[in-house]
Amino acid sequence: MRRQRPSRNGLAGSLALVALGLVAGSARADWPQYGGPDRNFKVGSAGLADSWSAAAPRPLWRRPLGEGYSGVAVANRRLFTLYRDGGDEVAAALDPGNGQTLWEQRWPEPDARLNRQYGPGPHSTPLVVAGRVFAVGALGRLAALDAASGRTLWTRELVDDLGGTLMDRGYAPSPIAWRDTVIVPVGGAGHAVVAFRQSDGGLVWSSQDFGNAPSSPLLIDVGGATQLVVFMAAEIAGLDPESGALLWRHEHRTRWDLNISMPVWNAEDGILFYSSAYDAGSGALRLTREGDATRAEPLWFTNQLRIQFTNAMRIGDVVFGSSGDFGPVPMTGVDATTGKILWRDRSFGRSSILHADGKLILLDEDGKLGLARLEESGLDVLGEYQVCDRRTWTPPTLHGRILYVRDREELVALELPGGR
């Protein structure tokens, strides 16, 4: 690992050019769902400082927040998240300027069926679209709320009414929007994945027999056709988001059926990367369309990269993430086309990763925030800042230069240093 300023040629220069091509949207794009505007943890924030040597991130406000791992969505000048308060789960809208509550909607969640060893949840991140907030609690209650007032528009019980899979620690996938529907993994025979009308919660389709898993669904474009990728209990699969019809399936089993990290798609070479811990590993599929059929060709598999629940990131031909489950978790980079291990870097613990303005923002589980660039040998660390001292498993949210960081008790707003 090198700590000096990165070179302006070689890999660093080419990665910067790639990054400019990959990041979409304005410099202050909203973050309306899990993974950001394009669900890939990349955002078009510009003007970030190239290091934190002259100025560190500046706390703007800090407020108590009940337990949970739900991320923060940003839309229409509001923040949206979920948390637990005593025996209630709470969906809330917050003022981004000071963190004060604008509205909250509560529902009881006292259920003793859940394993609360690692916290009570909720785990899912809200989706904000067309003036509505779609939020899923730990017991699988899907609620559509008015984004302006918090008024409940409709609810569906994914587990108790639809017969979905009740996961050990509670429901975790984050919903995704497709046209006028909201799509959620549910699990179970005939309704592994379900699409509801956004307007009234009416059932549009239910499909497949997979068991549920904590991973969130992803929409990708394969040869001009949109596909829904779901990482379920024993497989990764592609569905038609219009009907739920199965397009392809690839078996991938883990101990305890825990596929958690969301897959990573690259449209340029058609490679879909996926990774799990728990005696599993990482693999890549090349997806190609032949007429109306999709071929999912396995390219490689390795057990030397095992991402437990944080996200993976792909920049150029390098895909990387924190590798490991119960022991050390070095950031590990592999060649996305071959699976060859390129480097291991121990600068940070188990980390969530964002990409903005050609740089990486990392938040490790011990509350250490980092700024870095990707180099051939790993991470070139450009700054570190201890933002909190408690367990930090929720991916941060970046809106312009404001970063929202959540631990198990508080939500913090930080202004990242600017440059240029």
Structural domain contains residue 114: yes
Assess if residue 17 is contained within a domain.
Answer: yes
Q: In terms of residue numbers, what domain contains 67?
A: 10-415
Average pLDDT over residues 99-110: 94
Place of tokens 């929202």: 404
Query: Is 152 among the domain residues?
Result: yes
Residue count of the chain, please give it: 420
Answer whether residue 197 is part of any domain. yes
Q: Give the pLDDT band of residue 283 (cuts 50, 70, 90).
A: very high
Cα 151 to Cα 105: distance, rounded to the nearest angstrom = 8
- Cβ distance 252 to 265 under 8 Å? no
Cα separation of 105 and 322, whole Å? Answer: 35
For 336-377, where are the E strands, in sequence order?
A: 341-345, 351-356, 359-364, 368-375
Q: How far apart are the first and last CA of the chain?
A: 26
Residue range 53-82, pLDDT digits in tens = 999 999 999 999 999 999 999 999 999 999
With respect to residue 4, please indicate whether it lies within any of the assigned structural domains. Answer: no
Domain count, the chain: 1
Cα distances from 189 to residues 28, 162, 165, 255, 337, in angstroms, run 42, 10, 10, 21, 35
The domain that contains 362 carries what CATH number?
Answer: 2.130.10.10
The phi-psi region of residue 337 (left if phi > 0; otherwise alpha if psi is between -120 and 50; otherwise beta) is: alpha
Asked if residues 84 and 413 have their Cβ atoms less than 8 Å apart, the reply is no
Q: Answer whether residue 248 is part of any domain.
A: yes
**What are the backbone dihedrals phi and psi of residue 6, each rounded to the nearest 5 degrees, phi first?**
-70, 150
Q: How many Cα atoms are found within 13 Å in the side-chain-facing hemisphere of 16?
A: 12
Residue 24 reports pLDDT greater than 50: no
Q: Model pTM?
A: 0.92
What's the whole-number mean pLDDT along residues 256-285?
Answer: 97
In a domain? residue 359: yes
State the average pLDDT for the chain: 92
| DSSP state for residue 162 in the 8-state scheme | T
> Pseudo-torsion of CA 170, 172, 178, 181, nearest 10°?
20
Question: According to the model, what pLDDT value does residue 156 have?
Answer: 98
